[in-house]
């Protein structure tokens, strides 16, 4: 029972960090788009801001592992894949619907699931997460 509560708590922490990261990411992207910045540059800036917050939060809060070069390298590998996926969703959304935010919002839950699984079992595994 205790292990189940620990896992639920970890997942809730992960979701809270993800929501905060998403707000930073989407908020900055939309602000930049409304300020006249191209959607590719705006998406990239939002993604990087969310990424920096996300890594620090999940390393220290969700998975309680001090940041390290190894975990950062693994994290950036996952991010590279997720970035390409996100940018493809945003570009498709702009092409089909004429707006970037729909593609961004569609990509977020898929990127989040991928990030949690790989964060728990690969990125921060060396630090004793189960």
* Contacting residues for 73 by C-beta, under 8 A, at least 6 apart: none
* Mean pLDDT score, 122-129: 67
- For the ranges 34-43, 59-68, 92-101, 119-128, the lowest mean pLDDT is seen at 119-128
Say which residue, 3 or 82, is predicted with more confidence.
82
Helix (H, G, I), strand (E, B) or coil at 37: coil
- Alpha carbon distances (Å) from 109 to 5, 62, 98, 114: 23, 17, 21, 9
- pLDDT score recorded for residue 126: 54
Residue 122 — pLDDT band, cuts 50, 70, 90?
very high
The model's pLDDT over 60-70, given as tens digits with 9 standing for 90+, comes to: 999 988 888 99
* Mean pLDDT score, 98-121: 91
Over 90: is that where the pLDDT of 114 sits?
A: no
The model's pLDDT over 37-84, given as tens digits with 9 standing for 90+, comes to: 999 999 999 989 998 999 999 999 999 888 889 999 999 999 899 889
| Model confidence, pTM | 0.69
Over 90: is that where the pLDDT of 3 sits?
A: no
């Amino acid at each position: 029972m205790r292990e189940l509560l620990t896992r639920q708590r970890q997942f809730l922490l992960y979701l809270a960090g993800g929501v905060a990261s998403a707000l930073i990411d989407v908020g900055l992207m939309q602000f930049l788009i409304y300020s006249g910045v191209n959607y590719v540059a705006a998406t990239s800036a939002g993604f990087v801001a969310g990424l920096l917050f996300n890594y620090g939060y999940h390393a220290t809060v969700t998975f309680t592992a001090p940041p390290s070069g190894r975990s950062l390298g693994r994290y950036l590998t996952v991010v590279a894949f997720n970035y390409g996926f996100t940018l493809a969703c945003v570009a498709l959304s702009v092409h089909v619907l004429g707006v970037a935010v729909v593609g961004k919002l569609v990509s977020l839950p898929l990127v989040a699931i991928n990030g949690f699984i790989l964060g728990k079992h690969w990125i921060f595994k060396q630090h004793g997460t189960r």
